[in-house]
Chains A and B, each alone.
Chain A
Amino acid sequence: MTRASLVLASLGALALVSPARAQDSQFGIRGLGTPGRWESVRARATGGAFAPFDPFSPLLEASIADVRRVSAGVTGATSWRTVDFGSANSSLRASRFPAFMIAGPISSRLVVAGGFSTYLDRSFGITTRDTIDMRGSPEPVSDEVTSDGAVADLRIALAARLHRRLAVGFALHGLTGSTRVSAIRRFDDTSYRTSTARDEIAYHGLGGSASAMFDLSADLRLAAWVRSDTHLRADIRGLTVADDDLPFALGGGVRWRPGTEAVLAAAVAWRSWTGGGLNAHDTFNWSVGTELGSLTSPFRFGVRGGQVAFGPGPKAPTEFGISAGIGKQFSGGRGRLDFGLERLERKGTGLTERTWTFLLGLTVRP
């Protein structure tokens, strides 16, 4: 197989992956959704620890200051998830296309970038059975509520290297998206017709972020970021049905390069989701990861942990995951394929989720 065919095969694979349509977690159903991961495959294979330093992770703008050629990156993921309610369990499968980014310099110091990523995933489907009293008689019913869509984060970012040790970045975020929703009630008694309600919810919001990267030494880099999003407005046919606060978030990371073929990184992030409804919780997340080997074909490994933004009860659900991956450069460094595999477990009151996620990323520098 030639390099060109390898690239084409990978592009085809990415194109076949459905765009942003999978609920990563049942915890997000009774909430605003499941927050997306603003990470490229490279960053995610390190547990997210490399996200602050990776220009193709839509987390931190300052990192794109080092992009010296027009480059584009895309991420695809397929997950297999088991949901364990204690009394019942279910297996789910979903694919998504959570991030795309393109960046390029506009001057010797300034780099501009744009792209989108998943801000909140709102695809889910649930079925329930119940018996209700109808006209004095118990009637068994089946309900099915589905939502298909997501809120995307459209980002335009500007980064500048102010000093050989300092880079800063700013970004404006337009939050937009829609979900097709349906609620269907079926009655076992055919005297009652099936009730079907369908609608489309449009979401709107705005945000801004700023970040900085500082090199303490040639091998040690620090990064910090802050982001504030306003409100997420949900409209149905022009009528606002919900207006929820979006979080203020901040985080940081450190990257250490102890040798030419080893990089270690760690990152933390805090987000104030509590304005997002009764089931919302503030979250703190951490990650540690490493990238080993040559730049052309590194091996990556990472762990992550922390809290989940939505879940029942006063205490936030928790998550813990491990991930690994490899990368492969081709065409003299003009392209790179990244593969990753992540195992994640989320635990909350009454529910445990376990997910395998296969990740595929492509970065091209024409």
Chain B
Amino acid sequence: MTLRRRFGRLALLLALAGCTEEITAPGLCPDFCPGGQITVVDTIFTDMIGRDSAFTGYLEAYQGEVLQVADLPGIADSRAIFQLNAIPTRVRNDTGSDTVTVPITVDSARLRLNIVHRDTSVTNLWVKLYRLPIGIDSATTFAQLAPSFADSIVDSVNLSALLASPEITDSATLAFWGDTIQTDSAGHVLQVAQDSTLLLIVDLDTTQARFVAADSGRVAYGVRVSGDAPATLVLGSTEAGRGATIVWFFNFPDTTGTPKASTVSRSSIFDSFVFDPPTPPLDSNLAVGGAPAARSLLRVTIPEVLRDSADVVRATLILVPVAAVPGAPGDSFTVLARPVIADLGAKSPLNPDTVFDGKSRIPMNTVDTVRIELTDLVRAWARDTTAPTAFVLGQLPEAASFSQIRFHSTRTPAFRPTFHITYVRRYGFGIP
């Protein structure tokens, strides 16, 4: 190999090696670090929230994703109600083109309730089923149904005992129910659904599930709960696809007059919950939650220091409750803060992008200050001067509980909503 060739290859090799730079080293400050410093400032901005308002009526109880059932003496009594859809009272008795129908004779029914969650600390948790008059709707009140809940009990299930009973795993059971079940002496069946909710199945005879042909088989029921301690239970609703369903078992005479068995299934056409005492009317505070659902709109003024010369690294909304939210010990609910895409007061549309949301769990019976992290939202506002700087506080999910929290508003200066902001000052580039 000639000397020139060696030179050429050496030059290429060294230059290629040199293309990868590594210039970052541990800094020994201040002697061998730049003159600028990364400075963090931690401040509570008491006047960032300039105006705030509370509004109600966003979602009614019948529009909620769940139905709250509660027996909280001295606090609230909440009962789930639902009405099941009609069934045909006559059926064709052959498979041909004959349009002659015959009446059905109901033998029994099987009601299925979806228990989304329950208070696991309560023993002897009883789920009680009541017959209600058909025709219940969104205007039905707790008081209107009080007589039915007093004298029309249909069945009751000790859910605690049912949960404690052994699982039945034999092949016949699995073939019929599709999964293991738990059952009690009264024949109530409990299954765990794929989403870990509980399916409570109650068989009803003709006195419990009264088939009235004039009503086209429509029936309505109510659910109460009780236990050795204040008890709560949450049932699924039709809005979330977890509403109550009923299977009617009936027979009809075939062409020879022989009874022929059949079934028909129906789901709820209406479900809701009624409670007492009702939610108090809005006042000067910021109301969040309850049924009908209340929301509070808070308008924010971004300080100039955050827009021009700072980088927000953490922003925490601080809210002071007016009072503790009464409820079952150990229970809680979630308050969600979500920005609006236009500030139109009560009708402000919410930003569908959940990336800026902040949330906090509110435990019952405590008056702790509520802190909601809104760092991404405040950072976005600091950079985008065109964005509407307002957000809404709401319950998650809405209209799923009678519980409502109220925070002090800007009209109470000592406890007004504030922002705890941590930001980094603009770095002093260019200073030796």
Q: Map CB proximity to A onto B413-432 as digits: 1 under 8 Å, 0 otherwise.
A: 00000001010101111111
Residues of B within 8 A of A88 (CB): 26, 28
B28, A241: Cβ atoms closer than 8 Å: no
Q: Does A192 lie within 8 Å of B314, measured CB to CB?
A: yes
Chain A residues in 8 Å Cβ range of B150: none
Q: Determine which of B24, B312, B426 lies in contact with A127 in the assembled complex, contact meaning CB atoms within 8 Å.
A: B24
Q: Is the CB of A185 within 8 A of B424?
A: yes
The reply to whether A6 and B25 contact each other, CB–CB distance below 8 Å, is: no
Give the residues from 171 to 210 in chain A that come closer than 8 angstroms, CB to CB, to chain B: 181, 183, 185, 187, 191-197, 199, 201
Structural contact, B8 and A9, CB atoms closer than 8 A: yes
Contact check, A128 vs B430: say whether CB atoms are below 8 A apart.
no
- For residue A132, which residues in chain B have a CB less than 8 angstroms away from its CB? 40
Min CB gap B68→A, angstroms: 32
Interface residue A295 (Cβ < 8 Å from any Cβ of B): no
A144 and B24 within 8 A (CB): yes
CB distance from A129 to the nearest CB of B (A): 8
- How many angstroms from the CA of A191 to the CA of B371 in the assembled complex? 13
Q: Are B26 and A30 in contact (CB under 8 A)?
A: no
- Alpha-carbon gap, A234 to B7, bound state (A): 42
- A interface: dominant SS: strand
Closest to B432 in A: A277
- Chain B, residues 1-31, CB within 8 Å of chain A (1/0): the string is 0111101110110111111111111111111
Smallest beta-carbon distance A279→chain B, Å: 7
Among A16-24, A157-165, A211-219, A251-259, which stretch is in contact with chain B? A16-24
* Chain B positions within 8 Å of A85 at CB level: 26, 28, 32
| Distance between Cα atoms of A125 and B4 in the complex (Å) | 38
Chain A residues with CB below 8 A from B427, complex form: 145, 183, 197, 199
Closest chain A residue to B310, Cβ basis? A195
On chain A, the residues within 8 Å of B5 by CB distance are 1, 6
Partner of A358, one of B14, B27, B30, B376: B14
Contacts of A135 in B (CB 8 A): 42, 420, 422
Q: Is B40 a contact of A134 with CB atoms below 8 Å?
A: yes
Cβ B422 vs Cβ A128 within 8 A:
no
Q: Is the CB of B19 within 8 A of A18?
A: yes
In the assembled complex, A276 has its CB within 8 A of some CB on chain B = yes
Query: Do B24 and A95 touch across chains, with their CB atoms under 8 A apart?
Result: no
Instruction: Produce 1/0 per residue, A229-255, CB < 8 A to B.
Output: 000001010000110100000000000
- The one of B7, B16, B27 that contacts A328, using a Cβ cutoff of 8 Å: B7
Which residue of chain B has the shortest Cβ distance to A200 in the bound complex? B429
Q: Given A201-B429, A349-B31 in contact, is the A95-B22 Cβ separation under 8 Å?
A: no
Asked if A12 is an interface residue, CB under 8 A from chain B, the answer is yes
A50 at the binding interface (Cβ < 8 Å): no
Give the docked Cα–Cα distance between A187 and B5 (Å): 52
Among B12, B20, B34, B422, the residue within 8 A (CB) of A29 is B34
- Are A92 and B23 closer than 8 Å at their CB atoms? yes
Does B33 sit within 8 A of A, measured CB to CB?
yes
Number of interface residues of A (CB under 8 A): 77
Chain B residues, CB < 8 A from A147: 34
How far, in Å, is B32 (CB) from chain A's closest CB? 5
- Decide: A30 and B34 in contact? CB cutoff 8 A: yes
Closest CB of chain A to B16's CB: distance in Å? 6
Which residue in chain B gives the minimum CB-CB distance to A239? B430
Q: Is the CB of B11 within 8 A of A31?
A: no
In the complex, which range does the number of interface residues on chain B fall in? Answer: 35 or more
- Pairwise interchain contact A145-B33, C-beta atoms closer than 8 A: yes
Closest beta carbon of chain A to B84's beta carbon, Å: 48
Complex: how many Å from CA A90 to CA B375?
A: 36
Q: A95's contact among B21, B375, B376, by CB below 8 Å, is which?
A: B21
B28:A351 contact, CB within 8 angstroms: yes
B357 beta carbon closer than 8 Å to chain A: no
A95 and B38 contact, CB distance less than 8 A: no
* A1 CA / B424 CA spacing, docked (Å): 59
Q: A242 to B24, alpha carbons, bound, how many Å?
A: 24
A31 touching B422 by the CB < 8 A rule? Answer: no
Q: How far is the CA of A97 from the CA of B49 in the complex (A)?
A: 55
Given the interface pairs A126-B33, A195-B313, the reply to whether A13 lies near B11 with Cβ below 8 Å is: yes
* Chain B residues positioned under 8 Å from A339 (CB to CB): 7, 11
B8 A92 Cβ-Cβ under 8 A: no
Q: Is A83 in the interface zone, CB < 8 Å from B? A: yes
By a CB distance below 8 angstroms, the chain B residues around A145 are 27, 33-34, 36, 38, 427
Q: What sequence of 0s and 1s flags, for each residue 120-133 of chain A, a beta carbon within 8 Å of any chain B beta carbon?
A: 00011111100010
**Docked-complex contact B430 and A234, CB < 8 angstroms:** yes
Say yes or no: A5-B15 contact (C-beta < 8 A), given A18-B21, A183-B427.
no
What CA separation (Å) do A12 and B7 show in the bound complex? Answer: 13
Is B35 an interface position by the 8 A CB rule? yes
Question: Nearest Cβ in chain A — how far from B152, in angstroms?
Answer: 53
CB of B379 within 8 Å of the partner chain = yes
Cβ A192 vs Cβ B313 within 8 A: yes
Tell me if A72 is interfacial: C-beta within 8 Å of chain B.
no
- Chain B residue contacts of A126, Cβ below 8 A: 24-27, 32-34
- Residue of A at shortest CB range from B40? A132
- B interface, CB within 8 angstroms of A: 2-5, 7-9, 11-12, 14-36, 38, 40, 42, 311-314, 373, 375-376, 379, 420, 422, 424, 426-432
The 9 A-B pairs with the shortest beta carbon distances in the complex, nearest first, are: A125-B24, A78-B18, A126-B27, A95-B18, A13-B15, A9-B8, A312-B31, A90-B25, A241-B430
Seed contacts A93-B18, A328-B3; 11 additional CB < 8 Å A-B pairs: A3-B4, A21-B23, A30-B31, A30-B32, A78-B15, A94-B22, A124-B25, A183-B36, A185-B40, A241-B429, A330-B4
> Would you list 20 pairs from A and B whose C-beta atoms are within 8 A, ordered by A residue?
A1-B5, A1-B8, A10-B7, A14-B15, A16-B16, A18-B21, A22-B21, A26-B32, A29-B33, A30-B35, A93-B18, A93-B21, A126-B33, A143-B27, A181-B430, A185-B424, A192-B375, A197-B426, A234-B430, A312-B32
